[in-house]
Amino acid sequence: MSTGTQPLDVTAIRQDFPLLSRVLHGKPVIYLDSAVSGQMPLAVIERMAKYEREEHTNVHRGVSTLSQEATDYFEAAREKVRRFLGAASIREIVWTRGTTEAINLVAQTFGRMTVQAGDEILLSGMEHHANIVPWQMLAQEKGASIKVIPMNDAGELILDALDGLLTERTKLVGLVHVSNVLGTVNPVKEIIARAHAKGIPVLVDGAQAVPHLQVDVQALDADFYVFSGHKLSGPTGIGVLYGKLAHLEAMPPWHGGGNMIRSVTWEKTTYMAAPGKFEAGTPPIAAAIGLGAAIDYVTGLGLDRIAAREHALLVYATERLSTLPGLRILGNAADKASVLSFVVEGIHPHDLGSLLDGDGVVIRAGHHCAQPVMARFNVPATTRASFAYFNTKEDIDALVSSVEKAIELFK
Q: Where are the domains of the chain?
A: 10-41+302-409, 46-299
> How do the pLDDT tens digits run along the chain, 411 residues long?
444 568 999 999 999 999 999 999 999 999 999 999 999 999 999 999 999 999 999 898 777 888 889 999 999 999 999 999 999 999 999 999 999 999 999 999 999 999 999 999 999 999 999 999 999 999 999 999 999 999 999 999 999 999 999 999 999 999 999 999 999 999 999 999 999 999 999 999 999 999 999 999 999 999 999 999 999 999 999 999 999 999 999 999 999 998 899 999 999 999 999 999 999 999 999 999 999 999 999 999 999 999 999 999 999 999 999 999 999 999 999 999 999 999 999 999 999 999 999 999 999 999 999 999 999 999 999 999 999 999 999 999 999 999 999 999 997
| Rg from Cα positions in the chain | 22
Q: Which of 43, 45, 369, 379 is catalytic?
A: 369
Put simply, whether the predicted model's pTM sits higher than 0.75 gets the answer: yes
CATH C-level class of 46-299: alpha beta
Identify the pLDDT of residue 2: 45
386 is catalytic: no
The alpha carbon of residue 19 and the mean position of all alpha carbons in its chain are separated, in whole angstroms, by 21
C-beta separation of 283 from 257 below 8 A? no
User: What does the buried/exposed string (b/e) look like for 213-247 if buried means 16 or more CB atoms within 10 Å of the residue's CB?
Assistant: bbbebeebebbbbbbbbbbbbbbbbbbbbbbbeeb
C-beta separation of 86 from 215 below 8 A? yes
Identify the pLDDT of residue 3: 47
Residues in contact with 395: Cβ distance below 8 Å, sequence separation at least 6, in sequence order = 30, 31, 32, 387
Sort strands 239-243 and 261-264 into parallel, antiparallel or unpaired: unpaired
Phi-psi group of 251: left, alpha or beta (phi > 0 → left; psi -120 to 50 → alpha; rest → beta): beta
CATH superfamily of 10-41+302-409: Aspartate Aminotransferase, domain 1 (3.90.1150.10)
Identify the pLDDT of residue 1: 42
